[in-house]
């Protein structure tokens, strides 16, 4: 990082700029706008540099330098290039700083940096010379090139040129609408490896009309063998459709079933009412025996109520039995119909000899 003395020097220069700008005739209280902007970008660059954001700090130092050509700004720009390992640019800025300010207080440190940057540049140049170069050309152009991977973000787009260390690499090439191609290349020191690829287009199967494929279309038929006499084909038998079958409804969906149940319940209710009346008259006759002068009336009325109750109970039972018998008959009929439908079927059928009826079933 830069020395505190350099920062102090810059701040002093900025302060002097304010004083000089204020001491000019006619502008006693005026301020230099370029100096204000330079100070603003300088302070922002210092903040980014202290946080390790060297790219942002470099941009702010360069903006400050564009407003005021202070030599200290050049030194700080060189420091940013060094932190970003941009050895060539750092070496150039350090030399530029000493040329602008040969008697700088930190000239010994700058000379050490210059020596260090020169060594780094020499090592970088030697490493670049030890590398090989890969060039990829595709037809069509614009294909994505991936090195040592089959998926993910591409390393570039063809025409593709990249310096690589010596070794063996897997190159995958892909393009929309074309098949993916894989090639293995060997990179040699100081040489260029050229890879030319023609991408195969993806073939989409085309639908062929059945009439044209069999030679029955409007165009000429394609003959695959010697001509043979035409053979008359028998008409294909059509799949018969089953005849509509009437399905009888179950007994609990018939009107007479529920009518019979309601009638039986009504008759049973009437029988219960007359039975209760007969019992009541019988009890009254027993309690009033020897008291009433003529209890015969109670006895006759009780017998009549009992007779009516017996008639109603009997009729209710008869209706209930009739409903049960009807339900049993309907259920048996439905089972027999289902059995006949499962085992017997009469359908129309056509063949080469003619048309008729087909009867299938088990007897």
Q: Is the pLDDT at 239 greater than 80, yes or no?
A: no
359 pLDDT band, cuts 50/70/90, is low
- Whole-model pTM: value is 0.40
* Same-domain pairing of 189 and 120: no
Please check whether residues 110 and 48 belong to one and the same domain.
Answer: yes
Helix, strand, or coil here: 357? strand
Answer with the one of 166, 181, 198 that is the final residue of a domain: 198
Percent of the chain scored above 70 by pLDDT?
66
Sign of the Cα torsion 8, 11, 13, 19 reads negative
Residue 228 in domain? no
Angstrom distances, CA of residue 144 to CA of 148, 162, 197, 254, 319:
13, 13, 12, 78, 92
- Give the whole-number percent of the chain exceeding pLDDT 90: 33
Q: Tell me, yes or no, whether 164 and 263 share the same domain.
A: no
Average pLDDT, the chain: 77
Q: Is residue 65 part of a domain?
A: yes
Q: What's the pLDDT at 310?
A: 87
Q: Are 288 and 339 in a shared domain?
A: yes
The torsion angle over the Cα atoms of residues 139, 140, 141 and 142, rounded to 10 degrees, is -130
Query: Does 136 lie in the same domain as 123?
Result: no
pLDDT at position 76: 95
> Is residue 242 included in any domain, yes or no?
no
pLDDT of res. 277 = 80
Is residue 86 located within the same domain as residue 146? no
Mean pLDDT of 128-156: 89
> Residue 340 has what pLDDT?
56
Is residue 248 pLDDT above 60, yes or no? yes
Residue 216 lies in a domain: no
What pLDDT does residue 63 have?
A: 95
125 and 13 in a common domain: yes
Which of residues 69, 97, 129 is at a domain's end?
Answer: 129
- DSSP 3-state helix, strand, coil percentages of the chain (rounded to 5)? 50, 15, 30
Does the pLDDT at position 363 exceed 50? no
Domain that includes residue 60, residue range: 4-19+31-129
Residue 355 lies in a domain: no
Q: Is the pLDDT of residue 326 over 60?
A: yes
Strands 167-174 and 144-147: antiparallel
Could you say which of 85, 108, 129 is where a domain stops?
129
- Residue 229 included in any domain: no
Q: What is the pLDDT of residues 173-183, one digit of tens each?
A: 999 889 889 98
70 and 181 in a single domain? The answer is no
User: How far apart (Å, rounded) are the C-alpha atoms in residues 363 and 358?
Assistant: 15
Identify whether residues 124 and 137 lie together within a single domain.
Answer: no
Cis peptide before 140 (omega within 30 of 0): yes
Provide the number of structural domains found in the chain: 3
Q: Is residue 336 domain-shared with residue 275, that is, in the same domain?
A: yes
Residue 240 maps to a domain: no
CB of 124 closer than 8 Å to CB of 112: no
Question: What are the pLDDT digits (tens) for 98-128?
Answer: 999 999 999 999 999 999 999 999 998 888 8
> What is the β-pairing status of strands 355-361 and 160-164?
unpaired
When comparing pLDDT for 87 and 290, which is higher? 87
Residue that has been written with the tokens 């050490």 in this structure: 112
CATH of the domain at 84: 1.25.40.10
How far, CA to CA in Å, does 270 sit from each of 102, 258, 265? Answer: 134, 18, 9
Same domain, 143 and 187: yes
Residue 358 lies in a domain: no
124 and 103 within one domain = yes
pLDDT value at residue 319: 84
- Give Cβ neighbours of residue 98 (< 8 Å, ≥ 6 apart): 104, 107, 110, 111, 114
Residue 270: per-residue pLDDT: 86
Is the predicted pLDDT of residue 292 greater than 80, yes or no? Answer: no
Q: Give the tens place of pLDDT for each residue, 15-73.
A: 545 444 444 444 433 478 999 999 999 999 999 999 999 999 999 999 999 999 999 99
Cβ neighbour number for residue 181 with a 10 Å cutoff: 17
Q: Does the pLDDT at position 3 exceed 60? A: no
């Amino acid at each position: 990082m830069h020395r505190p003395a350099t920062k102090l020097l810059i701040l002093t220069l900025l302060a002097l700029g304010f004083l000089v700008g204020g001491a000019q005739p006619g502008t006693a209280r005026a301020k230099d706008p370029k100096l204000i902007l330079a100070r603003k970008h300088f302070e922002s660059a210092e903040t980014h540099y202290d946080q390790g954001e060297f790219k942002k700090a470099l941009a702010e130092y360069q903006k400050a330098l564009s407003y005021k050509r202070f030599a200290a700004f050049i030194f700080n720009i060189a420091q940013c290039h060094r932190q970003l390992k941009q050895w060539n640019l750092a070496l150039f800025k350090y030399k530029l700083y000493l040329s602008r300010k040969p008697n700088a207080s930190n000239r010994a440190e700058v000379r050490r940096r210059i020596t260090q940057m020169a060594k780094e540049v020499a090592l970088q140049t030697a490493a670049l010379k030890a590398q090989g170069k890969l060039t990829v050309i595709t037809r069509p152009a614009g294909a994505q090139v991936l090195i040592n991977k089959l998926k993910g973000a591409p390393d570039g787009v063809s025409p593709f040129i990249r310096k690589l260390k010596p070794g063996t690499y897997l190159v995958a090439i892909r393009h929309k609408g074309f098949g993916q191609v894989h090639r293995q290349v060997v990179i040699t020191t100081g040489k260029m490896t050229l890879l030319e690829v023609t991408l195969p287009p993806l073939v989409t199967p085309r639908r062929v009309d059945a009439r044209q494929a069999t030679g029955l279309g409007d165009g000429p038929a394609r003959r695959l063998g010697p001509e043979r006499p035409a053979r008359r084909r028998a008409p294909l038998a059509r799949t018969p459709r089953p005849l509509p079958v009437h399905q009888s409804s179950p007994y609990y969906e018939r009107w007479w079933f529920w009518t019979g149940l309601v009638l039986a319940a009504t008759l049973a209710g009437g029988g219960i009412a007359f039975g209760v009346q007969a019992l009541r008259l019988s009890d009254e006759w027993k309690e009033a025996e020897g008291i009433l002068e003529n209890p015969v009336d109670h006895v006759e009325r009780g017998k009549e109520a009992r007779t009516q109750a017996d008639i109603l109970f009997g009729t209710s039972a008869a209706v209930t039995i009739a409903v049960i018998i009807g339900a049993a008959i309907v259920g048996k009929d439905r089972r027999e119909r289902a059995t006949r439908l499962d085992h017997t079927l009469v359908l129309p059928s056509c063949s080469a000899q003619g048309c008729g009826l087909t009867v299938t079933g088990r007897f």
